[in-house]
Copies of this chain bind each other. A is one copy, B any other.
Amino acid sequence: MNIERFISQSEGVWRSMRSGHSLAFQQFEEVTSEIQIRSLPLEDVRVETLLDIYKEKNLLPISPFEIKWSSNSDWEEQNDSLISSGKSIMIPLPKSSSEGLMIRSLGYIEAQKALSHYSFLSDGTFLLSTQYDQTIAEERIWFASENVRFRASVIKTLGSGGIMQSSFASEVRQLSQSV
């Protein structure tokens, strides 16, 4: 597996079922989302702007892409579920075929840009680790088939390594481009 193949396999519209586990409080969260992943040209002005910020990294960017999502959570009041949406631009900066850095315009748990580290396990599972001010987020994504992928994440506190919450998403590719 390499980053170009992984992004190419991920392109499309996905219907996601995500479960969040709050480990200390034994609370479940249920979120359904529609997620769209699409490639961007390196000449996209937003890509160029991000690359300007991180240009000191001295690595060649490849296969930038955009993730858009629209989510519906059960964690608000029973009859008033929370709908949120957003998008993030991601730019891989490979160091080798199996690992590299990833620029993100928007972090997964904090709304700020971030520089993540990615790598691949022996079966092609994609690992992404992002350090924020107080926390580390680790995601792993693997394909169960061409049209089903899974995404597990964990959030750890930076100092103690304590684990605050985890989540798991089952994502099924949609044939209609409805985002």
Interface residues in chain A, defined as those with a beta carbon under 8 Å from any beta carbon in chain B: 15, 17, 19, 21, 23, 26, 28, 30, 32, 121-123, 125, 127, 138, 144-145, 148, 150, 152, 154, 156, 161, 163, 166, 168, 170, 172
Contacts and interface: CB of A to CB of B under 8 A. Distances in A.
Number of copies of this kind of chain in the complex: 2
Contacts of A23: 17, 148, 170, 172
A144 B105 CA distance: 26
16 contacts: A17-B21, A19-B19, A19-B30, A21-B170, A26-B32, A121-B125, A122-B122, A144-B163, A144-B166, A145-B156, A145-B161, A145-B163, A150-B154, A150-B166, A166-B168, A166-B170
B170 A148 contact: no
A123 B144 CA distance: 19
Q: Which 8 A-B pairs have the closest CB atoms?
A: A168-B168, A19-B19, A122-B122, A21-B170, A17-B21, A166-B170, A121-B121, A28-B30
A154 B28 CA distance: 20
A26 B21 contact: no
